Structure 1
Amino acid sequence: MGQYKTPGVYIVEKNAFPNSVVEVATAVPAFIGYTERSDNKGKSLLNKAWRISSMSEFISFYGGAPKSQFAINAQKKGSAIEADFSVNDKAYLLELQGSRYFLYHSMMLFFQNGGGACYVVSVGKFDEAIEKNKLESGVKILLKEQEPTMVVIPDAMSLDQKDGIALQQAMLDHCGRVMKNRFAILDIFDGDKEVQDSGCVENFRNDLGTNFLDYAAAYYPWLNTSVVQTSDLSFENITNLDVLKELLDTEVDNTQLVDAKKEEIKAQITELTSDKKTSTSAELHKNLNAASQLYGAILLSARARLNLLPPSAAMAGVYSMVDNFRGVWKAPANVSLNGVVSPAVEITHDQQEDLNVTTAGKSINAIRSFIGEGTLVWGARTLDGNSLDWRYINVRRTMIMLEESIKLATKAYVFEPNVSNTWVTIKSMVNNFLTSIWKRGGLAGATPEDAFGVYVGLGETMTPQDILDGVLRVTVLVALSRPAEFIEITFQQQMQKS
C-alpha cells in the first residue's frame, strides 16, 4: 500500500487464494529420424523440432512413405535365412536395397496406439544414408525444447549395432544427466530374432553401460504390424524386373491354361521390362495381380518385411494413451497394441523370466500375445531393474511430472523475501497440488498425511546461514503408487462343515 497524498477513495485488491501448481504435460514424445522432405510452406524444417498432432500434419510437413526397393535373389544353399517364396522348388529371397527408414511407418503406429501431440526432428531425406552423427545432432536440438517428455529414435535400428548403442547412450545421457525431465524408449537390435539364437538381449545389456538407466525402458521383441497395405506396393518396388519377368513366365508355363490365355498373360508380363508400355503402371499392376499368384505372393512377402517394425513408437503411443485416460502414475502395461498382428517372436512364461529379472538389473519389457486378448505389453520396468526407487516406469515418470510442475510453480517466488509468509505460501501451494494428485490416485495412502509431506522453514529445512546465503529449501516426501506386478493367490483346503 502506497503513501496517500491526495484526498480521495482508493481501492486495494488482495489475493484471497494462493498460487496454484499446474500439472505439466507428460505425454509429448519427440521423434528423430529421416523424412521425404521437411518444409512448412517453403520454410525449411530440417534440423528443427516441430510440433504436430496428427498423421495428416506429419504428411503435410514431412511427406509420405519411403519408396522401399527390393531385389529378388536366389537363396544360397545352406543359408539359415528363411526363404520368402519358392518357384519350382528353388528358394528366393527379397533383399532390401539401401537403408531402411523406420520413422514414417513408426509415426503411423504411434497415432494408431493413442498418440497425440508430439515433436518431430527431421535430420535428413530418404536419399541420404542414415548416420549416427545426424541422429545424435537431433538429440542435441531437443535441448532448446522444454515440452517433450519422451525421446524416440526408430531409425537407430538401421545403424550398425556399435553406432546404434552409442546413439542410445547419448539418449540416456540427454534424458538423465542433461535434461532430467524426459524418458527414453529404446529398441533392441535384432529384436525380430530369437533370444537364444541371436543373443540380441545379452548383447544389448553388455554394450549399453550403466549410466542413467532409470530414465529409459527397452522392449522386446519387434512387432508384425499392419500399417503397410498390399495396395501400397507394386512391381515398381522391385529393382531387378528382368528376374521378376522370368519367374512369372515360368509360373505361366507351368499352369494349365489355353495357349491364347498364356500368350495374353505373357504379353502383360513382357511390359515389365518393355520401354513402350501400352498400360499405365496401375493397370499393369492390377492385371498382374489378377493373373499371377506368384506376383501376389512376392508383394505379400515385401509387405511383411516392411510391416516388421521396432516397438518404441507404439509404446510412445501407449504411454500417451495411458497418461491421458488413467494418469502418468498408471503403469503402461497390460494394454493391447493396435495395428499389430503379432510379436515377431513368441515369448513363453519361462522365457520372460530372464528378461524381467536379471542380476545385471537391465530389465527388458516383453510384448506377448495371449489367446483371446491379442498382443499385450507385459512389462513395466525401467532398465534400472535392481533399484527399489526407480524400478518401475510409472514411478520415474510420475516423479518427473511432480518435480517439473512444482519447479515451474515455485519459479514465481525467486527473489521474494525469504520469510515465513513466503514459506507458508509455498507450502500451501504444494500441499494443494499434491492433495489433488492423491485424490486422483497418483499417490499411495489412506489419507493425505500418509501420501505426502511438505516441509519448509527455519530450523526445519533451513539454517540461519542458508537464509543469509539466499537459499530457500523445501522438502517434499511422496509415497508413489507401484504396480501390482506379481499377484499371489493362496489356496488351501478346509474341513467339510456340513
Structure 2
Amino acid sequence: MVDYQNKAPGVYIEEITPAGPIAGVGTSTPALIGTTTSLAPDLTMGKPVLVTNWTQYTANFGGWQAGLNLPYAVRGFFENGGTTAYIVPVTDMTGLPGALDQLTRVPDVSLVAVPGLVDPAAQSTVIAHCEDMRNRFAILDGAPDSNPLKADGPLQKQRAGLLSHNGYAGLYWPWLVISDPLAPAATPGTVTVPPSGHLAGVMARSDAQRGVHKAPANEPVRGAIDLGYPLNDSEQGLLNQASINAIRRFPGGPPLVWGARTLTDGTPWRYVNVRRLVTYLEASILQGVRWAVFEPNNTALWKGLERSISEFLTRAWEAGALFGRTAAQAFYVKIDEELNPPAVRDLGQVIVEIGVAPTRPAEFVIVRLGLWAGGAQLSEG
C-alpha cells in the first residue's frame, strides 16, 4: 500500500492483484481404511497418514499378511496409477466411525474405500460420510458370492441395503485374483482380494490421462490376472440393472472395469463420472471464489464472480467435460437482482445459480449392420 500522506497532491497509479483463475481441485486422492500389519511408533490408530508409494506404506504399516485386505489394496492402488493416498489404520471395524470423523478434517480426500468391507450397514456409514462431505466418492466392494443373481444371496442382499440418493457411491464386483506375494518363488500361487483399492488406482489413472469427466470404465485392472467369478453377458446385464458395476475378462485380454453406475435411485446421478465431475466443479468453484468473502456486495462483485466462474467452466467445456456445441449450450452462470434482492443482500449473502450439461458415457453402443440385396437394405437393430 502506498503511503499517500507523505506525497504531494496529484494522480497516482496503484497496481492491485486481481483474483486469479479458478484452479481445479484434485480428484484422485483416496482414503484407504483398514487393519495393518504394524504401526510406526510416531503414528496414531485412526489418524490419516499420507503416503506416496508402496515403500513408504510398508515403512509405516508393515507389509503383506494373510487375511489383511489393506496391503493388497494399497499395492493395487499404486500399481494402477495412483500417486497419493491417505491410510487410516484401525484395529477393527469398530474404529470405522472414528476414522471417518478424522477424514472430515482432510479436505483433499476425494475417494473413500474400506477394502474388504461388505456389510451394508457399515458401508452405509461410508456413503453417509461422502454425502455429508459432498466432495468425495465411496468405492465399495461387493460381497463374494458363487451365485450373484440369487435374491437371498450375499451380493443381492448387500445391494438391497445400499442407497445413495445423489450418487456418492459405486459398488464393484467380483473380487480380483492376483499373484500371491506370500507364496514361495518355487511354487507361485494366487490370492483373491477385494477390488476397491485397485479401482481407486484406475480412477486416478483415468483422471490423469483423460479427466474426471471420462467414465472410469473400459479400463484394465493392472495386477489382476483373473477374477473370482467369470460373469457372462446375461448375468452382467441383470447386475447392471441393479447398478452393480462388473469387472469382466474378455477373451485374450486382461480384467476390465465394465460398469460405471452409482447406487442412486434416480436418473440424474446414475453415472460415476457425472457425479464425480459435478463434485469436482462444485469443490473447485467453492475454493476458487473465497476471495469474494467480505468484499462489498454490489454489482462489481457479481460481475467478478460471473467472469471467474464462466472462465473456469469454459475451460471444462473445452476439455470435453460439458456437452454443447458452444459454451452457452454447455453451461450458464446467473447472478443478478432476481437472485439477490435487498433482503438477501441484507443477510450478507450472494447467490449464484449455475447450470451445467455434463457429458454422459456411451453405455450402450448400438451397431446396425445392413445387408444390401438388389439395392434394398436389410438391417438388424
Q: In the alignment, which residue of structure 1 is the partner of 2:96?
A: 135
Distance 1:489 1:189 in 2: 34
Q: Is the 8 A contact 2:28 2:204 kept in 1?
A: yes
Letter in 1 for 2:358: L
Query: 1:96: which partner in 2?
Result: none
How many angstroms apart in 2 are the aligned matches of 1:121 and 1:218? 21
- Aligned-partner SS, 2:237: helix
2:117 aligned counterpart, secondary structure: helix
2:32 — aligned with what?
31
Q: Which residues of structure 1 form unaligned runs of 5+?
A: 69-99, 125-130, 158-163, 233-288, 290-295
The 5 Å alignment of 1:379-398 reads 379-384=259-264, 386-398=265-277
Partner letter of residue 32 of structure 1? I
- Cross-structure match for 2:71: 104
Q: Secondary structure at the match of 1:218?
A: strand
1:443-465 CA-to-partner distances (Å, cap 9, x unmatched) read 11111111111110113x22221
1:321: which partner in 2?
205
| Displacement after TM superposition at 1:179 (Å) | 0.7
Question: Secondary structure, in 3 states, of the residue corresponding to 2:158?
Answer: helix
State the Cα distance separating 1:394 from its structure 2 match. Answer: 0.3
Aligned equivalent of 1:258:
none
The match for 1:6 is: 6
State the identity as a percent. Answer: 32
In terms of Rg, which structure is larger?
A: 1
Q: CA deviation at 1:415?
A: 1.4
Say yes or no: does 1:341 pair with 2:294.
Answer: no
CA-to-aligned-CA distance 1:179-217 (integer Å, 9 cap, x gap): 1111000011224x2314672221112233x35461000
- 2:149–2:239: 8 Å Cα contact kept in structure 1? no
Compute the displacement of 1:135 (Å): 2.6
Matched, 1:488 2:366: yes
State the shift of 1:43 in Å: 1.4
Q: CA deviation at 1:115?
A: 1.3
Partner SS, residue 319 of structure 1:
helix
Q: Go from structure 1 to structure 2 and tell me whether the alpha carbon gap of 1:495 and 1:64 turns closer, same or farther (over 3 Å shift).
A: closer
> In structure 1, what residue type is equivalent to 2:6?
T
**By how many angstroms is 1:2 displaced?**
7.8
C-alpha change, 1:38 and 1:213, in structure 2 (3 Å) is farther
Pick closer, same or farther for the CA change 1:113–1:418 going to 2, 3 Å.
same
Q: How many Å apart are 1:494 and its aligned residue?
A: 4.0
Number of the residue aligned with 2:378 = none
Residue 422 of structure 1 aligns with an amino acid whose one-letter code is L
TM-score by length of 2: 0.92
Q: Which residue of the partner structure matches residue 468 of structure 1?
A: 346
Alignment match of 1:149 (pick from 94, 97, 110) = 110
| Secondary structure at the counterpart of residue 341 of structure 1 | strand
TM-superposed CA distance for 1:5, in Å, is: 3.8
SS in 1 for 2:256: strand
Over residues 308-338 of structure 1, what are the superposed CA-to-partner deviations in whole Å (9 max), with x where a residue is unaligned?
0011111101000000110000000001111
> More helix per residue: 1 or 2?
1
Decide whether the 8 Å contact of 1:105 with 1:227 is kept in 2.
Answer: no
Q: How far does the alpha carbon of each residue in 1:463-490 deviate from its partner, in whole angstroms, 9 at most, with x for none?
A: 2211122211101111100000011122
- Output aligned runs, 1:11-410, within 5 Å: 12-15=13-16, 18-39=19-40, 42-66=41-65, 68=66, 100-124=67-91, 131-157=92-118, 164-176=119-131, 178-191=132-145, 193-196=146-149, 199-208=153-162, 210-212=163-165, 214-226=167-179, 228=181, 230-231=183-184, 296=187, 303-304=189-190, 307-358=191-242, 363-384=243-264, 386-410=265-289
Cα displacement (A) at 1:16 = 7.3
Q: Number of residue pairs matched?
A: 374
Aligned pair in 2 of structure 1 residues 63, 458: CA closer, same or farther (>3 Å)? Answer: same
Contact 2:120/2:159, CA 8 A, preserved across alignment: no
Aligned-CA RMSD value: 2.2
Pair 438,227 (structure 1): closer, same or farther in 2 beyond 3 Å: farther
Q: Is the 8 A contact 1:65 1:105 kept in 2?
A: yes
Tell me the amino acid that sits aligned with residue 50 of structure 2: R
Length-normalised TM-score, structure 1: 0.71
SS at match of 1:120: strand
Q: Deviations over 1:262-308 (max 9, x none)?
A: xxxxxxxxxxxxxxxxxxxxxxxxxxx6xxxxxx5xxx5xx43xx20
Amino acid at match of 2:321: G
Match in the other structure for 2:379:
none
Looking at structure 2, the residues matched to 311 and 55 of structure 1 have their Cα atoms a distance apart, in angstroms, of 17
